[in-house]
Structure 1
Amino acid sequence: MAANSVEILHDFSPLLKHYKDGRIERLLGDDVVPPSVDPKSGVQSKDVEISPEINVSARLYLPKNPDRSKKLPLLVYFHGGGFFVASAFSSLYQKQLNLLVAEANVVAVSVNYRLAPEHPLPIAFEDSWLALEWIVSASTDEWIKDYADLNRVFFGGDSAGGNIAHNMALRIGTQKLDGINLYGIILNCPFFYGKDRIGNEGADHFIFFKNYNDKLLPYVCPSMSDYDEPWINPAKDEKLSSLGCKNVLVYVAEKDFLKDRGCYYKEILSKNGWNGDVELVEIKGEDHCFNVLYPDSENAIAILKKVASFINE
């Protein structure tokens, strides 16, 4: 096969193209912006290496003028992108985390996990757990030691990142991690799925997305047996009642193909013995992860304030 072949093996436009010569072209979130001091909010950011030998890292955020005498909640954020595009260092997530940190007045760790297909699932989950272990380790960065309250920790994420936040919370509940008290999780249009269609997933205008996900999941996780594996379909997880927090905020978008999965998540949490509070917020007229793509919109700002309230209530 000639170098730089234009023949496509896997086409996941508008996110990724995988060519027959092995070349992978990421079409979204592939830009990298440096850490900075945000001129609007005063939020500072910097990058840290968690495990350089396997290229796991994070971007840390600190609000303007933090007070050492009163530690702040810690938000651990997992970016979206279908498990195979985007990064914690893209302009989309730099802006999203600057806004979140400023509004909620939190310390944040935005995890940069490795991506499929080069690093297929469950690698993203293992990298994310490694980041959590790093947070509680003795050598953790001074921003976390000086300013973060590890007794009030939140996990958050959008789309695939929402899936990771859920799976990390479940692992906290079943495996434990001394040094972190997980207070709540925040799931933005979480990427859950299943073998059987629910809600409006069978509607004609959603057929494209159903076919897309049917192909995407085996691509990012070649070892999966079916679409009902617990990591992607929490309704099939016998350990769901062990979710390691007592507070959950899920927000979904009216036009999103994944909306019914997010709604179903609330339902199954309530029915499967989990002892906590879950709140579901549906945003009318919006589509998947609209607030990440359009963070200055009216609905995105409203969600930002909702998340800040959830963290600080």
Structure 2
Amino acid sequence: MDSSNKTEVIFNFPPFVRVYKDGFIERIHKTEFIPPSFDPSTGVSSKDVIINQETGLSARLYLPKLEKDLLDKLPLLIYIHGGGFCIESAFSPLYHSYLNSLVAEANVVALSVEYRRAPEHFLPIAYDDSWASLQWVTSQSNEEEWLKNYVDFDKVFLAGDSAGANIAHNVVVRAGCEDLNGMKINGLVLVHPLFIGIEPIGAEVTNLNHIRAGKLWSFVCPTSTGADDPFINPDKDPNLSRLGCKRVLVCVAERDQLRDRGWFYYEKLRESGWDGVVEFTEAKGEKHVFHLTNPTSENAADLMKLVVSFLHN
């Protein structure tokens, strides 16, 4: 719909999205889309793949620079981007650049999921798209060239930041409850995860961030039961202890308003009866997704080292 037909605003959530009564959707944070490429600075190659022809679900595959004699196949990292479930993209310059760097540093193959976003596609579609991408990996293990030739399917990881970390967590919970044709997930990396709850915790008592985040959640998931929905509050999920991996890395930033929820998740996972090991790390003095907005900083480099170490431990 042409923006000239805009009328009154019915939902306003800067810097993410604004929705008008006539149905026009304005993404306040504009997202540019760039094609896959060979990145000369890292030696990483990328290409786009279609996960589901009917829905248009797609993803971007990344392949690191390969040694002439590749003796061992490489871990696979399935990455889910953030953006409040409604902005950003696996194909944006921000995430394309980050995945190039991460793939080069960690020497892994990566699949960055282009899930469908709200409000055109309300949740739980993003969860289902990400699950479908994981299933696609299992179905293509002997078909897709880069997967077949270079991936060690005994070393599969999921990771995401912000809303993408939320999605990654929920996908791995589902993997603990449903079969993946024998494929196992080794670990889960959650960077500044987007979780909330009805009852405020920590700094939420004074900054009221949980109320603002709850407003966004109600918009992107209109069928939700609210801020204690297990999708957004893992503490209320009876399947938390069935998380389908044995290792988790939770990363928070000291000045991030979601910081206390990350710590809360770490504590609740430890107490849940889940049979695995969870690690916690905090970047002092940093804000939400600082590693994306300031990737050359010392703290961003330290976070990259932690993630790389986790993927190869």
Q: Shorter-chain-normalised TM-score: which range?
A: over 0.9
CA contact (8 A) 1:230 1:236 kept: yes
For residues 211 and 232 of structure 1, the distance between their equivalents in structure 2, rounded to whole angstroms, comes to 13
CA deviation vs aligned residue, 1:104-148 (integer Å, no higher than 9, x gap): 000000000000111111100111111111111147421011101
Once residues 297 and 128 of structure 1 are traced to their aligned partners in structure 2, the CA distance between those partners, rounded to angstroms, is 30
CA distance in 1, matches of 2:213, 2:197: 10
Any conservation in 1 of the 2:198–2:210 contact (CA below 8 Å)? no
Give the corresponding residue for 2:169: 166
The equivalent of 1:154 in structure 2 is: 157
Hey, what does 1:35 align to over in structure 2?
Answer: 36
> Aligned to 2:99, which of 92, 97, 101?
97
Deviation at 1:238, TM superposition (A): 1.1
Letter in 1 for 2:223: S
1:230 aligns to 2:230 (yes or no):
yes
Number of paired residues?
310
* Aligned with 1:83 (options 78, 85, 91): 85
Query: After the TM superposition, which residues 281-296 of structure 1 pair with which residues of structure 2 at under 5 Å, given as runs?
Result: 281-296=281-296
216-225 or 16-25, which deviates more: 16-25
Out of 197, 201, 204, the position equivalent to 1:201 is 204
Aligned to 2:311: 311
**1:61-105: CA deviation from partner (whole Å, max 9, x where unpaired):** 000125554110000000001111111000010011011101100
Contact 2:255 2:288 in 1 (8 A): yes
Paired letter, 2:9: I
Of 297-306 and 17-26, more deviation after overlay is shown by 17-26
Q: State the identity %.
A: 52
1:163 & 1:8 partners in 2: Cα distance?
28
Alignment match, 2:72: 70
Q: Report the secondary structure of 2:217's partner residue.
A: helix
**CA distances 1:17-54 after superposition (whole Å, capped 9, x unpaired):** 11222111113352101111112111111111111221
Does 2:277 correspond to 1:277?
yes
Q: Distance in 1 between matches of 2:14 and 2:143?
A: 39
CA contact (8 A) 1:50 1:134 kept: yes
- Superposed displacement of residue 169, structure 1: 0.7
Q: Could you say what secondary structure the match of 2:205 adopts?
A: coil
Task: For residue 265 of structure 1, report the CA deviation from its aligned partner.
Answer: 0.8
Contact 2:196 2:210 in 1 (8 A): no
Match of 1:128 in 2: 130
Q: Which range is displaced more, 4-13 or 117-126?
A: 4-13
| Root mean square deviation of aligned Cα | 1.6
Q: CA deviation at 1:170?
A: 0.5
Preserved contact between residue 81 and residue 159 of structure 1 (Cα < 8 Å): yes
Residues 150, 179 of structure 1: 8 Å contact kept:
no
Q: CA deviation at 1:179?
A: 4.1
| Shift, 1:212, TM fit | 2.1
Structure 2 residue matching 1:53: 3-state secondary structure: coil
Normalised by the length of structure 2, the TM-score is: 0.95
State the 1:210 CA deviation: 3.2
Displacement of 1:180 in angstroms is 2.1
**Structure 1 residue 229, shift from structure 2 partner:** 1.1
> Are residues 295 and 29 of structure 1, via their aligned partners in 2, closer, same or farther at CA, if it must alter by over 3 Å?
farther
1:284-307 deviation line (CA, Å, top 9, x unaligned): 111111112221211111100110
- Unpaired segments of 5 or more residues in structure 2? none
Task: Give the 4+ runs in structure 1 shifted more than 6 A.
Answer: none
SS of residue matched to 1:54: coil
**Runs of at least 5 residues in structure 1 that lack an aligned partner in the other structure:** none
CA distance in 2, matches of 1:140, 1:227: 41
> Counterpart in 1 of 2:251?
251
- Whether the 8 Å CA contact 1:14–1:27 is kept in 2: the answer is yes
The equivalent of 2:116 in structure 1 is: 114
Match of 1:24 in 2: 25
Deviations 1:163-212 (A, max 9, x none): 11101111111112124220000000001111100111012xx23x3332
Bigger mean CA deviation after superposition, 10-19 or 120-129: 10-19
1:309 maps to amino acid: S
